[in-house]
Structure 1
């Protein structure tokens, strides 16, 4: 696992019209955020965009495989990230299109995790 700093700079440049891309290093890879919303992971020179059940058909149609990894015990885990289409690496409009789809999945995921606040006054 490694972080390709040049790739991260390309993502920042390509997505500048949409907002600010930030990065957090995590387990040898980079988690990417657009205006605070997680939308991708970068690992070993590749981008993996956030996906969810609502966007799965679009990713499937584009032939974007799911992110998998093998644990120490040999168990294969699948995560809700999809391999970026090859055109995102040299076409800013393609990067923006796929990143926007991933941001939407990130927003839906964040909305599901927000705690429900009670309207009752504290005791």
Structure 2
């Protein structure tokens, strides 16, 4: 993980109200998980905190000045993800950061449920 340890500590402090955070690797940065396997956020290698979003929350993020995490695939196409940058004022305000994190919980939990269901279907096909 190429994430600044001081920034990671700051993010942990900002999101402490969510409970324990688990780290994983993602795009040379760090994925942040709550509730064991619910990926709620990502810290990019450049030091931007991105929160999970979906069609129900994207407008609120955009209205607050957030931008999506975008990367270029090996074939040259740009891929826009469901991760939106944490609004700038929230980086210095734990109460506001927690608001955005709680807004991200719904999309994060839904994505996790879909991922679990896909894994179960795949395992059932292999077993059957």
**Aligned counterparts of 2:117 and 2:22: Cα–Cα separation in 1:** 25
**Residue-by-residue CA offset, 1:15-53 (whole Å, 9 max, x unaligned):** 222211121123411001123221111011110111011
Give the TM-score normalised by structure 1.
0.83
Other-structure match for 1:121: none
Say which structure is richer in helix: 2
Unaligned runs of 5+ in 2: 121-128
Match of 2:124 in 1: none
Tell me, yes or no, if the aligned pair for 1:11 and 1:21 is still in contact at 8 Å: no
Q: In structure 1, what is the Cα distance between the partners aligned to 2:34 and 2:89?
A: 20
Residues of 1 paired with 2:115 and 2:26: CA distance? 21
Match of 1:23 in 2: 23
Partner of 1:113: 115
Question: 5+ residue gaps in structure 1?
Answer: 118-123
Q: Who wins on radius of gyration, i.e. which is larger?
A: 1
- Matched length: 117
Cα distance between partner residues in 2 of 1:103 and 1:17: 12
Measured after TM superposition, the shift of residue 78 of structure 1 is 0.7
Give the equivalent residue in structure 2 for 1:2: 2
Q: How far apart in 2 are the matches of 1:105 and 1:8?
A: 22
Using the size of structure 2 for normalisation, the TM-score is 0.80
1:38 corresponding residue in structure 2: 39
1:96 & 1:110 partners in 2: Cα distance? Answer: 20
Partner of 1:68: 70
CA-based RMSD of the aligned residues comes to: 2.1
Q: Is the 8 A contact 1:21 1:34 kept in 2?
A: yes
